Amino acid sequence: MEINTVRFGKIQVQENKVLSFPKGILGFSTSRKFILFPHTEGSPFFWLQSIEDGTLAFVVMNPQLVKHDYTVNIEEHVLKELNAKKLSELEVMCIVTIPHNQPQQMTINLLGPIVINAKQRCALQIICTEDQYSHRHPILAENQ
């Protein structure tokens, strides 16, 4: 299928690569279907592009690239909602915010990770209750 996007123009999407978010993403609950693809080859960043709204796309990345000891408590009901039998079937990504013209100030949302079951093509954004995480964790400061 082909979708029109603001950032990438028309792109071809394989239907077997579409991720379903049954609850949407916080603040964007009407968009339920997304495609995940790398920013560029070898980049730590990915795009999570809505296939229903060409204006809606998020930059995401593996949070362990920023905070090596990052862990998420994935409860049993999340496993069930994602049709997963074990944690190893799941991937975790977090949304990155890049302020306009200030990439050195980019942050990652460690409080609202996106848990993905790529095999089942479904995903959920969950809320972490751990006190040590922030929704605006600096990306560059941690790695310097």
Q: Is the pLDDT of residue 7 over 70?
A: yes
What is the spatial distance between Cα 1 and Cα 134, in angstroms, rounded to a whole number?
A: 37
Distance CA 97, CA 107 (A): 5
For the domain 2-143, what is the CATH code?
2.30.290.10
In the chain, domain spans: 2-143
**Alpha-carbon dihedral angle through residues 60, 65, 70, 74, given to the nearest 10 degrees:** 50
The one-letter amino acid code at 101 reads N
Residue 142 has pLDDT above 70, yes or no: no
Of 2, 35, 38, nearest in space to 20 by CA: 35
Helix (H) or strand (E) holding 79: helix 76-81
**Single pTM value for the model:** 0.93
In this model, does residue 41 exceed pLDDT 70? yes
Please write the tens of the pLDDT for every residue from 112-125. Answer: 999 999 999 999 99
